Amino acid sequence: MRRVSIFGATGSIGQNTVDLIKRAPDDYDVVALTGGGNIAQLARDAKDLRAEVAVTCYPEKLPQLRAALAGTGIEVAAGDAAIAEAAARPADWVMSAIVGAAGLVPGLEALKQGTTLALANKESLVTAGPLLMGTARTHGATVLPVDSEHSAVFQGLIGEDIAAVERIIITASGGAFRDWPLEAIASATVADASSHPNWDMGQRITIDSASMFNKSLELIETKEFFGVKPDQIETVVHPESLIHALVGFNDGALMAHVGPPDMRHAIGFALHWPERKHLPVDRLDLAAIAQLTFRAPDDARYPALRLARDVMEIGGMAGAAFNGAKEKALDLFIGEKIGFLEMAQVVEGVLNRMDQQNCLRNAATDLDTVQAADHMARKIAQELSATV
C-alpha cells in the first residue's frame, strides 16, 4: 500500500487525482485530503477514500466539516497551519494541487519528509524555484511535473542527456480569445475569459490561459524545473492542444509528446512513475484528427509572454513578484475592478516599481524573503490598479 495525500483535492486537478485513486482503492492508503470552500466534496471523498485527516483552509468552515465527518473516525482540521501540518505527515506520494502561492508552504513541508511531490502547483516553482528544488535535493525528495507540458518534456527526456537538449518548445492553445480582435479583448468579461476551448480546468488557470499568463508561468516553470537557459525555451500556438510539448536535441531531432487533453494522463504518469500503467484516457485517432496546426504567438496580443522573458532574465525575486502581482491582478479582474488587458499593465507596473526600488535582484532564496516579495507585489498591484 502506498501512502498518498492530495492537497487541493476538491479542485479540478484534485478531482482527477481522486478519480484515479478511486479506481484502485486497494493500492493506496490515503493520509490527507485538503480543500477550501467545497466542504461537501471534501467530506465525501474523505469518507470514500477512508482518509486519515481532512483539512479545509478556511477556519470558519471547520464546524461544517466536523459535522459532515462526525462518527467516521476521520480527523478534521482547518487553516493554513493545519494544511502545513498535514503536509508534514509521512506519505510516499503527495499531489500538490492547491491553486496559487498558497501551495508553496505545504509543498516544502512535504519535500522535507523526502516524499515524491507531484507538482501541479506551478506557482510554487515560479515564486520560489531555487528554494523548492533545493529543499527536494537536501531531503532526497523527488519533484515530478504534473503540468501537461512539463510532464511531456519530462517524458521526452527519459534516457536522454540534458546537455544534448538545444531547445524546449511549450505549446499553447491560445486560450479563449485566440481568434478575437484585440479591441474586443479589451472589453472581455470574466464569463468570456472563463471558458477554455480545449481543457476543463479551474477558473483561475482558465482565465490565465486566455491572457497567456498561464503560458508565461509555464516558461518560467520550464527554466526552474529543467535548469535550461531562457533562450532555450520557446512557445508556439497550437490550437488543437494535442502536442503538449517538444524537446529539440543537438542532432536536429524534435521529440513531441502527443495525447488527448486529459490531465489524468500527466497525473497518472506521476502517480505510477517510474513505471507506466494503463490509464483511462482516450486513445487518439490520428486519421480522424487529420491535421495539427501551429502559429507564432503574437506579442501584442499576449504581453504576458514578454514579461515572462524579463522575469527569467532578472531571476532573484522577479518570479515571486511576477506571480504575486499576477494573482492580485487576477483577483481584481474577477472582482471587476480592472479590465482584462489591464492585468498585464498592472503586473508590468509592479515589476518596474520593485526593480526601481532594488527589490527584484535579491538572490536570497529563503521563505521569508520570497514571501516578503510576494506580499509587496500584491500591495503595489492593488495601488496601481487605481491608476490603469
102 binds ligand NDP (CB under 6 A): yes
Residue 180 makes contact with ligand NDP by CB under 6 A? no
Piece of 6-14, 180-188, 249-257, 303-311 that binds ligand NDP (CB under 6 A) = 6-14
Tell me the window of 110-118, 199-207, 342-350, 361-369 that interacts with ligand NDP (CB under 6 A): 199-207
Binding partner selected for residue 248 from Mg ion, ligand NDP, none, CB under the kind-specific 5 to 8 Å limit:
none
Measured CA to CA, the distance from residue 280 to residue 156 in angstroms comes to 21
- Count the alpha carbons within 13 Å of 214 in the hemisphere toward its beta carbon: 28
Residue whose grid cell is 477514500: 49
Rank residues 121 and 171 by Cβ distance to ligand NDP and give the closer one.
121
Contact with ligand NDP (CB under 6 A): which of 45, 52, 109, 147? 147
| Helix intervals (H) in the chain | 12-22, 39-48, 62-68, 80-87, 104-112, 122-138, 148-156, 182-186, 190-193, 203-211, 213-226, 264-272, 286-289, 303-314, 318-334, 342-356, 367-385
Q: Return the exposure string of 339-364: e unless at least 16 CB atoms fall within 10 Å of the residue's CB, then b.
A: bbbbbbbbbbbbbebbbeeebbebee
Q: Does 37 bind ligand NDP (CB under 6 A)?
A: yes
Collapsing DSSP states into helix, strand and coil, what is residue 369?
A: helix
Q: Binding to ligand NDP by residue 109, rule CB under 6 A?
A: no
Should residue 11 be labelled a site residue for ligand NDP when binding is judged by CB under 6 A?
Answer: yes
Site for Mg ion contains 123 (CB under 5 A) = no
Q: Which does 122 bind (CB under 5 to 8 A by kind): Mg ion, ligand NDP, none?
A: ligand NDP
Smallest distance from ligand NDP to CB 42, Å: 6
The residue count for binding ligand NDP (CB under 6 A) is: 28
Could you give the CA distance from residue 13 to residue 146 in angstroms, rounded to a whole number? 9
Query: What is the residue-wise DSSP string for 293-355?
Result: --B---TTT-HHHHHHHHHHHH-TTHHHHHHHHHHHHHHHHHTTSS-TTHHHHHHHHHHHHHH
Single residue of 36, 248, 259, 268 touching ligand NDP by CB under 6 A: 36
215 contacts 298 by C-beta, under 8 angstroms: no
Query: Is residue 38 involved in binding ligand NDP (CB under 6 A)?
Result: yes
* Candidate ranges 3-11, 186-194, 245-253, 298-306; the one touching ligand NDP (CB under 6 A): 3-11
Rounded Cα gap, residues 159 and 148, in angstroms: 19
Q: Measure the CA–CA gap between 197 and 208, rounded to whole angstroms.
A: 13
Residues facing residue 53 across a β-bridge: 32, 75
Contact between 98 and ligand NDP by CB under 6 A: the answer reads: yes
* 67: Cβ contacts below 8 Å, ≥ 6 apart: none
Q: What is the DSSP letter of 92?
A: S
Using CB under 6 A, which of the segments 33-41, 166-174, 320-328, 378-386 binds ligand NDP?
33-41
3-state secondary structure of 22: helix
Minimum Å gap between C-beta 234 and ligand NDP is 19
**Joined grid coordinates for residue 344:** 498585464
Smallest gap from Cβ 55 to ligand NDP, in A, equals: 9
Least separation in angstroms between residue 251's CB and ligand NDP is 31
201 contributes a contact to ligand NDP by CB under 6 A: yes
Residue closer to Mg ion by CB (options 64, 173) is 173
Binding string to Mg ion for residues 139 to 158, with x set by CB under 5 A, is what?
--------xxx---------
> Would you tell me which residues interact with ligand NDP (CB under 6 A)?
8-14, 35-38, 57, 83, 97-99, 102, 120-123, 147, 199, 201-202, 204-205, 263
> Would you tell me which residues interact with Mg ion (CB under 5 A)?
147-149
